[in-house]
């Protein structure tokens, strides 16, 4: 009898606990629902933000600097001839089309740098005590410098990239030749070179493969590679491969000849640069090193002579 009473009391306790949990959960859900409804009502009561407030909520760069940059780009495009605009686009292609850089952005940066150069010339120079002629001279110096500085930067990036391609091309052709002679097809060998090497040449080979994957012919993709670069060695390689593909010549033989020729050109280029070193060293030697040597050698003698004549 006592066992039955204990069992009944245990069942009642379990039932009561479950009932208490369900009641607390329903109350919590009701509270959350009421809180959510009150928040929605409060949001609806708030006045909708005006266009000015929405505009002020945007970041400063997006709100002010963005439209200003667009206006400067439009101004730079208006005062730049079409031929010069196309030349900037070609230089960007040679530079590898850095992310976010376009011809319009370069023109906007040219206008910005020119304006900053003029502001520096017309502001600090008069404050430092410079007259009219120094101010005009500094203005005529800084404004053209600011206008041509972005173009010079793009040209330098393109030049460095071309030199990197010229330096990496013989090694890439050696790897391509070995891969083809090992039994790989030209496309697979090109994939191997693009995967195993680093630098702008590997990126160009990867772009050729992407163009071939989207349906462009091999010859057209290689011609586009030659058009995107001003490296004569790369253009020679592209021309040889296009001719080999057109006339059915063995690709391995063409690659072997091209790799040998590239190595010879690299050694010749190194010898050419070595021959230019004495001429390049001549000007620093005359204008920098020789005056210092004359001062060190002749300076004490000149002091002694002046001292001796001074005593008399």
* Inside any domain, residue 226: yes
Cβ neighbour number for residue 108 with a 10 Å cutoff: 22
* Inside any domain, residue 113: yes
Q: What is the mean pLDDT of the chain?
A: 77
> pTM of the prediction?
0.68
More confident residue, 255 or 44: 255
pLDDT score for 38: 55
* Inside any domain, residue 291: no
Residues 179-219 have pLDDT tens digits of: 888 888 888 888 888 888 888 888 888 888 898 888 888 88
Output b/e per residue, 258-274; b: 16+ Cβ within 10 A.
bbebbeebbeeeeeeee
More confident residue, 281 or 130: 281
User: Does one domain contain both 145 and 226?
Assistant: no
What is d(CA 4, CA 21) in angstroms, rounded to the nearest whole number? 26
Residues 72-101 have pLDDT tens digits of: 778 888 888 888 888 888 888 888 888 878
DSSP-derived secondary structure letter, 49? P
What is d(CA 301, CA 289) in angstroms, rounded to the nearest whole number? 19
Output b/e per residue, 59-68; b: 16+ Cβ within 10 A.
eeeeeeeeee
* Inter-CA distances, 267 with 45, 91, 260, Å: 80, 28, 11
The three-class DSSP label of residue 38 is helix
The count of C-alpha atoms lying within 13 angstroms of the C-alpha of 185, restricted to the half-sphere facing its C-beta, is 5
Q: What confidence tier does 30 reach under pLDDT thresholds 50, 70, 90?
A: very low
pLDDT score for 263: 86
Examine the pLDDT at 48 and tell me if it is beyond 60: no
User: Does one domain contain both 86 and 133?
Assistant: yes
| CATH code at position 199 | 1.20.81
Structural domain including 70 reads: 60-162
User: Does one domain contain both 186 and 238?
Assistant: yes
Query: Into how many domains does the chain fold?
Result: 2
Which of 162, 197, 229 is where one domain is finished?
A: 162
In 58-131, which ranges are continuous DSSP H helix?
Answer: 60, 66-78, 82-94, 103-122, 124-127
Query: If you average pLDDT over each of 24-33, 123-132, 241-250, which comes out highest?
Result: 241-250
Beta-carbon contacts of 145 under 8 Å, excluding residues fewer than 6 positions away, are: 117
């Amino acid at each position: 009898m006592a066992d039955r009473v204990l069992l009944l009391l245990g069942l009642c306790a379990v039932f009561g606990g479950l009932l208490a949990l369900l009641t607390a959960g329903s109350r919590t859900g009701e509270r959350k629902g009421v809180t959510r409804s009150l928040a929605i009502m409060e949001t609806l009561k708030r006045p909708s933000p005006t266009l000015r407030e929405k505009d002020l909520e945007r970041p400063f760069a997006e709100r002010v600097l963005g439209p200003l940059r667009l206006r400067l780009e439009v101004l730079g495009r208006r005062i730049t001839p079409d031929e010069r605009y196309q030349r900037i686009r070609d230089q960007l292609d040679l530079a590898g089309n850095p992310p976010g850089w376009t011809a319009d952005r370069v023109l906007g940066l040219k206008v910005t740098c020119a304006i900053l150069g003029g502001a520096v010339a017309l502001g600090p120079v008069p404050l430092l005590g410079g007259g009219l002629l120094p101010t005009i001279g500094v203005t005529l110096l800084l404004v053209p410098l600011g206008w041509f500085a972005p173009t010079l930067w793009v040209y330098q990036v393109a030049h460095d990239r071309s030199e990197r391609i010229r330096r990496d091309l013989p090694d890439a052709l050696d790897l391509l030749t070995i891969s083809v002679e090992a039994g790989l097809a030209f496309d697979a060998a090109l994939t191997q070179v693009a995967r195993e090497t680093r630098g702008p040449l590997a990126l160009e080979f990867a772009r050729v493969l992407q163009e071939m994957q989207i349906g462009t012919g091999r010859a057209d993709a290689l011609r586009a590679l030659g058009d995107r670069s001003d490296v004569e060695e790369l253009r020679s390689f592209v021309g040889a491969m296009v001719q080999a593909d057109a006339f059915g010549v063995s690709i391995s033989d063409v690659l072997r000849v091209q790799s040998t020729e590239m190595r010879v050109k690299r050694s010749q280029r190194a010898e050419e640069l070595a021959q230019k070193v004495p001429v390049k060293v001549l000007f620093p030697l005359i204008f920098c090193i020789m005056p210092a040597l004359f001062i060190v050698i002749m300076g004490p003698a000149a002091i002694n002579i002046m001292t001796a004549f001074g005593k008399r």
